[in-house]
């Protein structure tokens, strides 16, 4: 029989050990042998289909125990009719002074990739440190290369359902010339371990559709997918958003649905399709959404119009976003926001 002090010590040690592990999912290491089969960029876009952005601003990355995302949510995403999750990563926050990624952070990402894959979802690993990179390109580039050196090596054996996105929304110091000189350096790092995995790259000015024409994708690399983001008309989609500039930030009640507004979406996407056909590059619409302050009926119409128009022109798409804002899923109620879900996936019951 244990004496009381020894019993107390044992209980304390057990509690400490449990606490040390409680904030992380169980280890889900990437495959030890290659599961990858080469797939064309065009077939990859068809495989991506309908997607949703996940996790980016969730506390999961800092502490798995406080995170909202559980395995059931990936199952629900698949069951609702989606085929892809775009996993939003602020990887720079997980780097140490030697630009090494935190093992606990990597373990959380392993769990996301493994869980999404288990439920039949494609996974876009999206590096999202766009603000840091766009403010200081010189400071960004060593970190971005280090991140992708580690992630590309780690996930080199994953199936072709795992896709890399080099950097979200370059802007600021990343003008077209600087971006075109910079991203191939990072791509070269990725290609050392993943020579034929498809990689998503967009233009400058926050992945504006208008900058695709300035994007100098390497002609010899056929495993590249172009991306753009769409939030037009911006005063409608971002009305009342705290991060928007004035007067959009303090303005609400802006409506959407005039025939000319709907026609403009088709015109904008037709121009992207023309670029895609001319360049031979398939397209992924990586983000679109209308902020929660807009009227729900207008949000539904806008969201449905964008999604159906993207599909009309053969673009895969990823809605922004599952939770946080522009929400598709209400964690408090543990259910989808039905009008938005139905706008995205009309067959949803």
Which CATH number is 312's domain given?
A: 3.20.20.80
Q: Is residue 4's pLDDT more than 70?
A: no
Q: Is residue 7's pLDDT more than 80?
A: no
Residue 250 CB-density burial (10 A; 0-12 exposed, 13-18 middle, 19+ buried): exposed
- Is-contact 90 129, C-beta < 8 A? yes
Length reported for the chain:
349
Burial 42-77 (b: 16+ CB within 10 A, else e): bebbebbebbbbbbbebebbeebeebbbeeebbbbb
Considering the chain, what is the average pLDDT of its residues?
Answer: 93
- Confidence class for position 349, pLDDT limits 50, 70, 90: low
pLDDT at 324: 84
Q: Is residue 349 part of a domain?
A: no
More confident residue, 23 or 252: 252
Q: Is residue 168 part of a domain?
A: yes
Q: Please compute the mean of the pLDDT values over residues 93-104 and round it to a whole number.
A: 98
Q: Give tens-digit pLDDT for 157-193.
A: 999 999 999 999 999 999 999 999 999 999 999 999 9
pLDDT at 26: 82
Q: Is residue 13's pLDDT more than 60?
A: no
Q: Is residue 7 part of a domain?
A: no
Q: Is residue 27 part of a domain?
A: no
**What pTM, to 2 d.p., does this model score?**
0.93
- Cβ atoms within 10 A of the Cβ of 296, count? 13
% the chain with pLDDT above 70 = 93
Q: Is residue 4 part of a domain?
A: no
Three-state SS letters, 88-109: EECHHHHECCCCCECHHHHHHH
pLDDT at 41: 99
Q: Please compute the mean of the pLDDT values over residues 80-109 and round it to a whole number.
A: 98
* Strand-strand pairing, 329-330 and 335-336: antiparallel
Sign of CA dihedral 14, 17, 22, 28: negative
Q: What span, in angstroms and rounded, lies between the C-alpha atoms of 112 and 69? A: 9
Q: Is residue 46 part of a domain?
A: yes
Q: Is residue 24 part of a domain?
A: no
Q: What span, in angstroms and rounded, lies between the C-alpha atoms of 167 and 144? A: 8
pLDDT at 27: 85
| Domain, as residue range, for 74 | 41-344
Among 154-158, 225-229, 301-305, 344-348, which is the least confidently predicted range?
A: 344-348
pLDDT at 203: 99
pLDDT at 19: 37
Q: Please compute the mean of the pLDDT values over residues 80-104 and round it to a whole number.
A: 98
Among 8-17, 18-27, 102-111, which is the least confidently predicted range?
A: 8-17
Q: Is residue 261 part of a domain?
A: yes
- How many independent structural domains does the chain possess? 1
Q: Please compute the mean of the pLDDT values over residues 301-306 and round it to a whole number.
A: 99
Q: Give tens-digit pLDDT for 222-267.
A: 999 999 999 999 999 999 999 999 999 999 999 999 999 999 999 9
């Amino acid at each position: 029989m244990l004496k009381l002090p020894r019993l107390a010590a044992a209980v304390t040690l057990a509690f400490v050990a449990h606490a040390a592990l409680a904030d992380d999912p169980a280890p889900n290491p990437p495959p030890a042998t290659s599961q990858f089969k080469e797939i064309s960029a065009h077939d990859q876009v068809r495989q991506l289909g309908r997607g949703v952005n996940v996790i980016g601003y969730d506390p999961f990355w800092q502490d798995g125990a406080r995170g909202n995302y559980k395995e059931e949510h990936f199952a629900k995403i698949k069951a609702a009719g989606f085929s892809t999750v775009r996993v939003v990563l602020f990887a720079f926050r997980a780097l140490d002074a030697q630009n090494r990624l935190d093992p606990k952070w990597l373990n959380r990402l392993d769990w996301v990739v493994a869980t999404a894959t288990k439920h039949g979802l494609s996974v876009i690993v999206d590096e999202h440190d766009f603000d840091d990179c766009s403010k200081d390109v010189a400071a960004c580039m060593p970190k971005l290369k280090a991140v992708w050196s580690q992630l590309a090596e780690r996930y080199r054996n994953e199936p072709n359902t795992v896709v890399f996105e080099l950097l979200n929304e370059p802007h600021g110091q990343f003008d077209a010339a600087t971006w075109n000189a910079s991203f191939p350096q990072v791509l070269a790092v990725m290609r050392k371990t993943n020579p034929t995995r498809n990689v998503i790259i967009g233009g400058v000015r926050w992945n504006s559709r208008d900058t695709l024409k300035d994007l100098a994708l390497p002609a010899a690399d056929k495993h590249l997918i172009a991306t753009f983001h769409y939030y037009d008309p911006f005063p409608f989609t971002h009305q009342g958003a705290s991060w928007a500039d004035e007067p959009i930030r303090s303005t609400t009640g802006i409506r959407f649905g005039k025939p000319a507004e709907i026609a403009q979406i088709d015109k904008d996407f037709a121009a992207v399709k023309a670029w895609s056909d001319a360049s031979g590059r398939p397209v992924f619409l990586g983000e679109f959404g209308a902020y929660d302050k807009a009227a729900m009926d207008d949000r539904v119409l806008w969201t449905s119009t964008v999604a159906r128009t993207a599909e009309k022109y053969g673009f895969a798409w990823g809605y922004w976003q599952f939770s946080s804002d522009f929400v598709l899923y209400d964690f408090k109620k543990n259910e989808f926001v039905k009008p938005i879900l139905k706008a995205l996936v009309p067959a949803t019951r």
